[in-house]
Chain A
Amino acid sequence: MGFNDVLGADHIFEIFKNEASFSNVYIITGERGAGKGLAAREIAKYLNCTGGNRPCDTCRNCKSIEAGSFPDVYMLTQNRSIGVDEIRDIIEKSIVRPYTSRYNVFIINKAHTMTSEAQNAILKTLEECHGDNIFLLLADSTDALLPTIRSRAQVLSMRRANEEELTDMLMKRYNIDKQKALFAARFSKGVVGKAVMLLEPDHIEFRQKVFDIIDRLRNAKPYDVFDMYGILKPDRETAGDMLDIMESFYRDLLMINHDKYEFIINADKQSYLLNYSGFPDDRLVHIIERIEEMRRFVAFNSNIQLTFDVLFLDILGV
């Protein structure tokens, strides 16, 4: 890995290349899968690299950062929300000067999951940290961060990768033909992580199944609906993916109603979409709103099967 392998972050790397211009606290924002984590790690490598063409990926520092064992790069990654204890840990570490290199780099993954106590606890540290501390807070968006955090940091946002670059990279890295790579690049709208996910066979199959369900819904009788949940049996995790795919489908129908063919997400299904007529705007708007509502229900621990039954009935117009 090097700077060139992370797409959509060149403008961010540029800042760190100039020693006189970078400051201590940054929030890096971007959608899920935009490559924030990768970018942050490259920055950490760059700052601590001892090789010639930084980040060289061959020196000891680079290698141990890549392996996650470098003492001066602290990466906080956890699946549950980040509490005040984790932050205290970071504060304590930030007082110590770097052991072997010039900068202590603190990377907080999913910073938007910090509890409000945690965010408050880190405020003073962000504002008055020592010059050799670099904080990189990675967040999906700044909305979930306190304004007091936002005001102490500089916000850098990842850019969407450009289609050509992304296609090239996918072809090279995953050894696939151009057609497939191009589709993934388009469908993902330049979000690298999404493009990669799209190419996984599991996901391709999953998506096809969701489309099958949508297709069956077209001519279903109300009582048929109750069998449909059984086709995929989504759990809490995959329910979100399923809702995403369904939402994108109905949204595409909306686009077709307005002749915006160039914005269609499911570009590979275009001919199918074009045949799927007879949904007026207001119905589609209603369906999409319902899907959003269902998403909240799933997040709030509702019974998933019931949720989907209700949604399917709703799509039928019952």
Chain B
Amino acid sequence: MYTALYRRFRPSDFDEVVGQEAIVTSLKNQIKNNMVSHAYLFTGSRGTGKTSMAKIFAKAVNCLEPIDGNPCNHCKNCLAIANGDSTDIIEIDAASNNGVNNIRELREDVKYPPSVGKYRVYIIDEVHMLSQGAFNALLKTLEEPPAYIIFILATTDPQKVPVTISSRCQRYDFKRIPANRIVDRLMDISKEVNITLQPEAALLIARKAEGALRDALSILDECIAFCGSTIARNDVLEVLGITAEDSLAEIIKALNERDASRCVGIVDQEYMNGKDPAQFTRDLIGILRDLLFIKTVNGPKEMLDLPESEYKSLNMLSSMMDIREIIRIIDALTETEHSLRYATQPLIVLETSLIKLCLGAELAEDAAPKEDNSIIQRTTEHALSGTQNKDINRPVKKDKVPENRDKGNDIKGQKASLAKAEPDRGFDKLKSAWPNILSSAKQKSMVLFAYLTEGTPVGFDGSTLKISYKSDGSFFREEMEKPENSEIVENIIKEITGLNVKMECIIEGENEKEDEFMARVFEVFDGMDIKIMKE
């Protein structure tokens, strides 16, 4: 029977753990100086060595003759633990034993001292899945366990661990493992299992593993299962369903040139080759991110972990593109990736979003008018045919006011010019007299003055004075419009300026909206008799 590589090559002492030197040093020193704490919390993303480290630590504290803090792996305690025979190491899967009852059992258990070794070590893995009650039930035991007990909690999700738990533990954050360290480890292991792994292939695996050694080894396992004893970069691409860089680069070029046909052609080709659209989108985002790095970061080469040839071709590609364009594409694709999760026909979603990207700016400007013309055309035809008039008063979308906006402006313009013609002089007179009007209103009634100061006179057509209020001033408007108030003001105006004036109060901006709306109404119901009735 074959054992997965990540199990077969699980580190057996501290020195074999890759990429966590700081944690290894402090744990070793604790063991050497006999300063072992009673509770530890190991956190970090998957495959960084939390459980492995916990197991090594458990061995080391019970080892009969530790070497420099490392477990010897020869003494009977080490062997018993390695074989899983020891009763002193208890590994608990907190995700499937997450209730408060499981923790109560554990608390009962804690009373008994170790049978062989020096310590009883509880490794509570996936501890973030414990229920609220279970966490709380653990608190007191975790704080003051018997001297022979050590707890090691391990989790990928430290936010879910209550602070009352983490404050009782020594916390160690496991870092993601750098790609070059993963490459080294992969090369070592492949040598040991007699596999020829090409360095570029190892690099690709390491990149795809995202800092998790276990992911890297799982991928290596998959590659071995498919390709046998020699693994090249192309094999890894094939196994992982990653789209090869050249067709990704080809798509990006096509996007840059707004060539929708070519984009669609490439995507469909890749789909027929068995690529998953979601994976394809992620690959595309990945390469765009690399491009963005090349364009913006100092010394991108070291940060990208790319083989020389590919770096060169990306560098070429990046010189052709604009940063904003790259960001635009990344934004759009990120959204696509999200909607792909719900899609039942992912290919169509991806194609559509690529075509949309190619349409680019045109879409925003052109789409609306075209759409709108068609309705108006249709509805006019319809109106002329004179059947079922009722159907037409459906709501019209606001944001799609098309070219006839100009016509709307025309109408407004006409109105304005009509109003402006002769009464300009009267308005100037009113305006200059406004402070006087205000002060005499103040003498008559303080409340009235308050209502009046909120508004500003905005127009006068010879008989009607328009006073405009801000949109939040509808209260003042209403008060001002009451006959008993407006009459007083009208009288004051007559006294001061000698003009016979009717007051009309409006809310700022309301009229324009109305005009615009009316313009649309006239447009849509073109040729029909329209009566306007106000409430």
* Interfacial residues, chain A to chain B (CB-CB below 8 A): 11, 15, 19-25, 29, 32, 84, 87-88, 91, 117, 120-125, 127-128, 131-132, 141, 143-144, 147-148, 150-157, 159-160, 189, 221-223, 240, 244, 247-248, 251, 254-255, 258-260, 263, 280-286, 288-289, 292, 295-296, 299, 316-318
Contact = CB atoms under 8 A, between A and B. Distances in A.
A248 B348 contact: yes
A296 B95 CA distance: 31
Contacts of B371: 283, 317
Interface stretch (B113-121, B142-150, B210-218): B210-218
Contact of B352 (A19, A84, A288, A295): A288
B1 A131 contact: yes
Given A143-B278, A151-B215, A281 B46 contact: no
B363 A153 contact: no
Interface stretch (B219-227, B300-308, B310-318): B219-227
Given A120-B96, A123-B125, A221-B378, 16 more contacts: A15-B225, A22-B2, A121-B96, A121-B98, A123-B93, A124-B125, A125-B96, A152-B218, A154-B225, A254-B352, A255-B264, A283-B367, A283-B370, A285-B356, A295-B344, A317-B375
B274 A258 contact: no
B439 to A, nearest CB: 56
B221 A141 contact: no
Contacts of B370: 280, 282-283
B341 A244 contact: no
Given A244-B345, A280-B370, A124 B268 contact: no
Contact of A141 (B156, B276, B375): B276
B344 A152 contact: no
B339 interface: yes
Contact of B241 (A150, A157, A189, A285): A157
13 contacts: A21-B225, A23-B221, A124-B95, A125-B96, A147-B46, A148-B46, A153-B218, A154-B218, A154-B225, A189-B272, A222-B375, A281-B260, A285-B352
B333 to A, nearest CB: 15
B264 A124 contact: no
B367 A286 contact: yes
Given A299-B342, A318-B375, A160 B363 contact: no
Contacts of B1: 19, 131-132
Interface string B433-453: 000000000000000000000
Contact of A117 (B91, B95, B225): B95
Nearest to B212: A151
A254 B355 contact: yes
Main SS class of interface, B: helix
Contacts of B372: 317
Across the A-B interface, the 5 shortest Cβ-Cβ residue pairs: A120-B95, A223-B391, A124-B93, A121-B96, A258-B261
Contacts of B47: 151
A237 B391 CA distance: 31
B509 interface: no
A155 B4 CA distance: 13
A285 B351 CA distance: 9
Contact of A120 (B129, B356, B367): B129
Given A124-B126, A247-B348, A251-B351, A24 B156 contact: no
A38 B156 CA distance: 35
A281 B359 contact: yes
Contacts of B46: 147-148, 151
A39 B264 CA distance: 32
Nearest to A220: B378
A200 to B, nearest CB: 18
Interface of B: 1-4, 6-7, 45-47, 51, 91, 93, 95-96, 98, 125-126, 128-129, 156, 212, 214-215, 218, 221-222, 224-226, 241, 260-261, 264-265, 268, 271-272, 274, 276, 278, 339, 341-345, 348-349, 351-352, 355-356, 359, 362-363, 366-367, 370-372, 374-375, 378-379, 382, 388, 391, 394
Contact of B2 (A21, A32, A91, A122): A21
Given A131-B1, A147-B46, A247-B348, A154 B7 contact: no
Given A282-B362, A292-B342, A121 B129 contact: yes
Contacts of A289: 352, 356
Contacts of B375: 222, 316-318
B211 to A, nearest CB: 11
Contacts of A221: 378, 382, 391
Contacts of A19: 1-2
Contacts of A120: 95-96, 126, 128-129
A285 B362 CA distance: 13
Contacts of A87: 96
Nearest to A128: B7
A316 B376 CA distance: 12
Contacts of A316: 375, 378
Main SS class of interface, A: helix
A127 B7 contact: yes
A105 B375 CA distance: 61
A20 B2 contact: yes
A285 B355 contact: yes
Contacts of A288: 348-349, 352
Contacts of A154: 4, 218, 221-222, 225
B95 A285 contact: no
A153 B126 CA distance: 17
Nearest to A119: B95
Contacts of B261: 258-260
A151 B341 CA distance: 20
A285 B359 contact: yes
Contacts of A299: 342
B343 A292 contact: yes
Nearest to A280: B370
Nearest to B217: A151
A161 B289 CA distance: 34
B348 A23 contact: no
Contacts of B345: 244, 247-248, 251
A21 to B, nearest CB: 6
Nearest to A295: B342
Contacts of A11: 226
Contacts of A255: 264
A316 B375 CA distance: 8
Given A157-B241, A251-B351, A281-B359, A260 B342 contact: no
Nearest to B371: A317
Contacts of B349: 288, 292
B268 A263 contact: yes
B227 to A, nearest CB: 11
B210 to A, nearest CB: 8
A260 B226 contact: no
B4 A23 contact: yes
Contacts of A247: 345, 348
A304 B388 CA distance: 26
A88 B96 contact: yes
A223 B355 contact: no
Given A11-B226, A153-B218, A296 B342 contact: yes
A244 B348 CA distance: 10
Nearest to A158: B274
B96 A122 contact: yes
A281 B98 CA distance: 54
A260 B126 contact: no
A168 B150 CA distance: 64
A144 B128 CA distance: 19
B408 to A, nearest CB: 20
A11 B339 CA distance: 31
